[in-house]
Amino acid sequence: MDHSTKNIVEKNSAVLYGLVKTAAENKAAAVAISYCNQVQGISISLIDRLKGVKNDLLLLSGDQKNPIMGRKQEPEALLVKGGVPELAQGDNMEIHANYFMQDNEGKNGTELQEAINKTRTAMLSVIEKASDDKVLAASPETRKMLLDRMKAIEEKTCLYAINATNSSGIDQTWVSMYLEHSPLAGVFAMLSRVEIDSRTLEAEVMQALAECVNAADYKFDKCQKACCIENNP
């Protein structure tokens, strides 16, 4: 997941670089850069929150003073791929359940869920604003393209945190379904997945904006799109 996120970030940087190369001679490119910066800022805000949650959980699972202690320190504890230290309490079922459902009156969980959904809405709204921009969407065709892309991106994005019904027909919140009843290691994986989903949506929106000025140097291939994991495991 970390490698996938890095690849998406690099491709997003490539799109932005393509816009910068043409901005001096193309007013639309300069405008597109402004919208891309907005999108990246929205995405980074959510990612910073996710990192903060991970840091909190590392403190709670370590000595509550140093987040590093939330991971095993022995060389043999390094995971086979990536060299990431194994969680000290990866199989723990209570630390995060209390953090998301009990501590701070459950706001840690509800506010994270709200942040995920607001991030999706905010990034998509950038396309909507761009479609009304007289420089970037000067022609009716460009405006229609942006609105069509916004709809298509919204339909396929995985950046959703919605309540659902479990296999027993019982209504559950997203927090309870995906975070409360998973081991701590599974929670970290879920948080990393949300980061990938945010970066992927960021990339799709930036690509649409860049295509308005023909400044994009790449297209997502099937491998990149595979980073978007289905909501239902």
What pLDDT shows up at residue 32?
95
Query: Which pLDDT tens digit goes with each residue over 75-114?
Result: 888 877 667 889 999 999 999 999 999 999 999 999 999 9
- Quote the domain boundaries for residue 219: 2-225
Look at residue 233 and tell me if it is in a domain.
Answer: no
The dihedral sign for the CA sequence 57, 62, 64, 65:
negative
Which whole number is the average pLDDT over 58-62?
96
How far apart (Å, rounded) are the C-alpha atoms in residues 167 and 153?
A: 28
Find the radius of gyration of the CA atoms of the chain.
20
- Contact at 8 Å (CB) between 77 and 89? no
Which residue, 8, 37, 180, is CA-closest to 99?
A: 180
Look at residue 230 and tell me if it is in a domain.
Answer: no
H, E, C per residue of the chain: CHHHHHHHHHHHHHHHHHHHHHHCCCHHHHHHHHHHHHHHHHHHHHHHHHHHHHHHHHHHHCCCCCHHHHECCCHHHECCCCCCECECCCCCCCHHHHHHHCHHHHHHHHHHHHHHHHHHHHHHHHHHHHHCCCCCCCCHHHHHHHHHHHHHHHHHCCCCCCCEECCCCCEECHHHHHHHCCCHHHHHHHHHHHHHHHHHHHHHHHHHHHHCCCCCCCCCCHHHHCCCCCCCC
* Largest pairwise CA distance in the chain: 61
Query: Which pLDDT tens digit goes with each residue over 115-153?
Result: 999 999 999 999 999 999 999 999 999 999 999 999 999
**Any idea what the Cα angle at residue 214 is, between residues 213 and 216, rounded to 5°?**
115
Percent of the residues in the chain that have a pLDDT greater than 70, as a whole number: 90
How far apart (Å, rounded) are the C-alpha atoms in residues 107 and 103?
A: 7
Which residue did the predictor score with more confidence, 81 or 171?
171
What pLDDT shows up at residue 232?
43
What pLDDT shows up at residue 74?
86
In terms of residues, how long is the chain?
A: 233
| pLDDT, the chain, mean | 89
Look at residue 108 and tell me if it is in a domain.
Answer: yes
Look at residue 190 and tell me if it is in a domain.
Answer: yes
Look at residue 132 and tell me if it is in a domain.
Answer: yes
Query: Which pLDDT tens digit goes with each residue over 23-42?
Result: 988 999 999 999 999 999 99
Q: Which amino acid is at 232?
A: N
Query: Which pLDDT tens digit goes with each residue over 196-205?
Result: 999 999 999 9
Whether the pLDDT of residue 223 is over 80: the answer is no
How far apart (Å, rounded) are the C-alpha atoms in residues 135 and 191?
A: 38
Total number of domains constituting the chain: 1
Whether the pLDDT of residue 228 is over 60: the answer is no
Look at residue 231 and tell me if it is in a domain.
Answer: no
What pLDDT shows up at residue 66?
93
Query: Which pLDDT tens digit goes with each residue over 179-192?
Result: 999 999 999 999 99
Each residue of 70-97: b (16+ CB within 10 Å) or e?
bbeeeeeeeeeeeeeeebbbbebeebbb
How far apart (Å, rounded) are the C-alpha atoms in residues 180 and 107?
A: 13
Whether the pLDDT of residue 224 is over 50: the answer is no
pLDDT range class, residue 230, cuts 50, 70, 90: very low
